Amino acid sequence: SGLWLSEGDFVSTAGRKATQLGSLGFPRDWPNVYSTSKALKSLIGGKKGRCAGKKVSVLTVPLPDDLALLQGLVSYPLQSFSNAVRIEKAAGLPVVRGWAVFEHLDLAVSEAFVAERYWWNALPDGRWVDFTPRPQAWPELVLAEAVDGAPKVQTTLATSELELAHLLLEQRFPASFVTVPEKKMAVAAEQTEAPAKENSSELEPELEPLADPSLAPFAELVKRAG
């Protein structure tokens, strides 16, 4: 079991489902759109937004000094929840729970936006840092700390969640996506032993690192879900 992205982790002002989001990216009229767009305000604005945020910031990729704090701990694509929890446990950096905010790039500028439930970490000086690998097309990410804490419950990986992960990996990391026959994926999952759990209240088990987590193939996700 683990913390997996699911349909309920995505909210689109265009009414699209998680499997039909289309092209997403950094809001094109930022920062002006933050104060002028009714669609964006309805999503993360104040306490009335569907994914209300109490603090919003734009984060770049981690700096070398930030990465050094992890002491080699590897983060995985599409798994911001477990990444943040493991980093808090290993490096003592508190988890910040909220939403990543994107614009529907296939629609008119500032017409519609998407909030994706997302967790990251805070440095000792209070500065936010996001260690989850992201597509090269997303050098900056809008993150909104949730008013309600954006909670997530640990569950067994469902078929719908596996299919969503497959789709998102293909869309966001197309150059590295690897298609693996279902039979081989099943065998790989069966041969992967579940890691032993420590006597801890933390939700996420220890994970084996990948050689290149930013280019993680779908087969590896299946192995880790076995």
What residues does 59 pair with on adjacent strands?
141
**Residue 199, burial from CB neighbour count under 10 angstroms (0-12, 13-18, 19+):** exposed
- Report the C-alpha gap between 13 and 115 in whole angstroms: 9
Pairing label, strands 95-104, 24-25: antiparallel
Look at residue 5 in the predicted model and tell me its pLDDT.
96
Is-contact 42 111, C-beta < 8 A?
no
- Report the C-alpha gap between 19 and 171 in whole angstroms: 11
Amino acid at 165: A
Digit-coded pLDDT (tens) for 31-42? 999 999 999 999
pLDDT of residue 59 exceeding 60, the answer is yes
Give the 3-state secondary structure of residue 148: coil
Give the 3-state secondary structure of residue 140: strand
Is-contact 118 168, C-beta < 8 A?
no
pTM check: above 0.75:
yes
Digit-coded pLDDT (tens) for 131-164? 999 999 999 999 999 999 999 999 999 999 999 9
In 3D space, the residue among 211, 215, 152 whose CA is nearest the CA of residue 2 turns out to be 152
Question: What Rg, from alpha-carbon coordinates, does the chain have?
Answer: 17
Is-contact 33 112, C-beta < 8 A?
no
Look at residue 163 in the predicted model and tell me its pLDDT.
93
CA-to-CA dists, residue 115 to 13, 24, 55, 170, 198, angstroms = 9, 10, 14, 20, 33
Look at residue 178 in the predicted model and tell me its pLDDT.
52
pLDDT of residue 177 exceeding 80, the answer is no
Digit-coded pLDDT (tens) for 116-135? 999 999 999 999 999 999 99
